Structure 1
Amino acid sequence: MTAPPLTDHPHEPLTGSDDWHGAATTTQIAILTARSMRALVLDRRLLIIGVVESLIMLIAFGQVFSGLAYAPGFPAHIKYIDFLFPALMLTTTLQSGIQAGIGVTDDAQSGILDRLRSMPVWPGSILIARSLAGLARGALRLLVLLTLARALFGYHPAGGVEGLLAAAALSLAVSWSLSWLFIALACWIHQSEALHATAGLVMFPLMYASNAFVPMDGLPGWLRWIARYNPITHGINSARDLCLTGTTGPGVLTAILASLLIATAAATTATKALSRPR
């Protein structure tokens, strides 16, 4: 004699509901971040490209513009590599932010994004995972950049190890916040080629309408006005102070707050774009 089923329908789950609401949001983010990180760790081509890009940036900017250290208005007793390196830290980590956006477009083109959208996964989890993977990529690229700067140029910041680590943390925080601009663009564009072109248009004013490569006093008046309101300028100023002196002023709060405001607006836009029916 067989026992009666525990429910009216023998194949119905014991919970009494057929709905699966998915894993916790933190679990979703952890799993999706690990998925994105595997490509970073296992693909040697990405690591090689990161090393080559860092080397090109150091040689190109460090050598081509080194004569600016003797130009009128350049800070006295500061080598150009010491002036330049904090800007390269932000440039390098911002490139990782662009790669985070491209990762979203790659998932869209391969169909993985549609598959994830059909599951009980919060769209924000997908985007946060990509941003965290980009943050890890940026940290790795910073390590490569610093190693090459020390080996090739004897870079040794006057602010010491503490100042350098604080500048690196600031660069990662600002670039992670601004990476949401590229993630938001990816959610609307869905094409890697178009995103590359658009990201270039965004990066150009961010980096060159700033004090990344020349002091503010060396910029034309109209460009100096733009640079003054560029969040990258405040981030570079703070990172530069940390590397050169080990201390920084109130500009660090301006850089972080402005970047977080941009990140909040861009993350909200990106999540809404990913949630909309296609």
Structure 2
Amino acid sequence: MSSSLAPAASGTTWRGSTLFTQVMVLTGRSLRSVLLDPKNLLFTLLTPLMMLLLFSQVFANVANTPGFPKGVSYINFLMPATLVTTALSAAMTAGIGFVNDLRNGVLARFRALPINGGSVLAARSLADLVRSAVQLIIMIVAAVALFGFTPKGFGVAGALLLALIVGWGLGWLFLAVATWMRNPETLQMFTFLAMFPLMFGSSAYMPLEGLPGWMQFVATINPLTYAIDASRELTLQGTLSSTAFTSIGISLVIAAGGMVFAAKGFRRQ
């Protein structure tokens, strides 16, 4: 019996797993590294809540300034923006996680396996998207239960989806930068230098009318402003306007460019 099976067995060519399987397995690996580390998991969940508490108290008096939307509490003004800025912070970790894998030799071991290089990048992006979704959902629940956040209808679900799309697009940008920089310290400096102008040079914490003239110009051309304004429209008014589609379009363009440059950078490792 064994001899009759031998030719069939010897003639079988193993072509490896599918790209989908590779992405799912590698995504699971990245998520387990977070779930199996209690301290990492705790900081992942608490950091956005601490930022929400801090900013809601520090900038609370902004609600009393001229130009602030009438009848809107500051927490309702802040929370839609915090969804977007938290997604931005989560996007930064995509690049940092990739560089850490490069530094500890994980990527070198992946290269010795019959897997598609693109699956490594896609899995990193997907894992960070899942982690960001968990962060944002917990933040919304906590904001409603503890901070008095009162979204209108199901618009907050649209704002959540928009924040995830924006974070996913920016995540590919940081992944692309990571494949070319390689040094974690340099990458961290780059991400922080990129994060602060994007966050504070936008309409996240104050209406555009309350910003100095030059900052109004910066905020107007800041792509994060479009996402924040669309998030507020969805959350406070329950409406979907062209601003949301503009933000999604910008995010998709950034993601496409990031994919191209990330793939090139990964091949040169």
Shorter chain as denominator, the TM-score bin is over 0.9
Conservation of the 8 A alpha-carbon contact between 2:63 and 2:73: yes
Are the aligned partners of 1:54 and 1:144 in contact in 2 as well (CA < 8 Å)?
no
- Opposite residue 226 of structure 1, the aligned amino acid is V
Question: SS at the partner of 1:247?
Answer: coil
Q: Distance in 2 between matches of 1:67 and 1:204?
A: 21
Q: Which of 241, 246, 254 is residue 246 of structure 2 equivalent to? A: 254
Compared with structure 1, are the counterparts of its residues 3 and 61 closer, same or farther at alpha carbon in structure 2 (3 Å cutoff)?
Answer: closer
Structure 1 3/59 Cα, relative in aligned 2: closer, same or farther at 3 Å? closer
Partner of 1:184: 176
Deviation at 1:41, TM superposition (A): 2.2
Q: TM-score, normalised by structure 2?
A: 0.93
2-structure distance, mates of 1:112, 1:105: 10
Alignment partner, residue 45 of structure 1: 39
Kept in 1, the 8 Å contact 2:23–2:123? The answer is yes
Q: 1:46 is aligned with what amino acid?
A: N
Q: Tell me the TM-score normalized by structure 1.
A: 0.90
Deviates more, 1:57-66 or 1:190-199: 190-199
After TM superposition, list the pairs within 5 Å mapping 1:1-278 onto structure 2: 13-15=10-12, 21-157=15-151, 159-160=152-153, 162-276=154-268, 278=269
Q: Give, in angstroms, the shift of residue 44 of structure 1.
A: 1.6
Compare the two structures and name the one with the higher helix fraction. Answer: 2
CA deviation digits over 1:34-92, x for unaligned, max 9?
Answer: 11111222222122112331232122100110000000111111111100001111111
Q: How much has 1:5 moved relative to structure 2? A: 11
Q: Is the 8 A contact 1:62 1:84 kept in 2?
A: yes
Per-residue CA distance 1:201-245 (angstroms, 9 max, x = gap): 111121111101111111222222222222211111111011101
Structure 2 gaps of 5+ residues are none
With over 3 angstroms needed to count, the CA separation of the structure-2 counterparts of 1:203 and 1:66, relative to structure 1, is: same
Distance 1:5 1:37 in 2: 41
1:150 to partner: Cα distance = 2.0
Matched AA of 1:56 = M
Distance of 1:202 and 1:227 partners within structure 2: 14
Alpha-carbon distance between aligned partners in 2 of 1:156 and 1:213, rounded to the nearest angstrom: 18
For 1:189 and 1:92, the matched residues in 2 are separated by: 24
Three-state SS of the structure 2 residue aligned to 1:23 is: coil
Deviations 1:128-158 (A, max 9, x none): 101111011111111221222123212111x
1:6 deviates by: 6.5
Amino acid at match of 1:103: G
Contact 2:173 2:255 in 1 (8 A): yes
Count the aligned residue pairs.
267
SS of residue matched to 2:11: coil
1:232-269 per-residue CA deviation (whole Å, 9 max, x = no partner) reads 11111111011101112101111000111011001110
State the distance in 2 between where 1:212 and 1:57 align.
13
The answer to which of 185-194 and 61-70 deviates more is 185-194
Structure having the higher Rg: 1
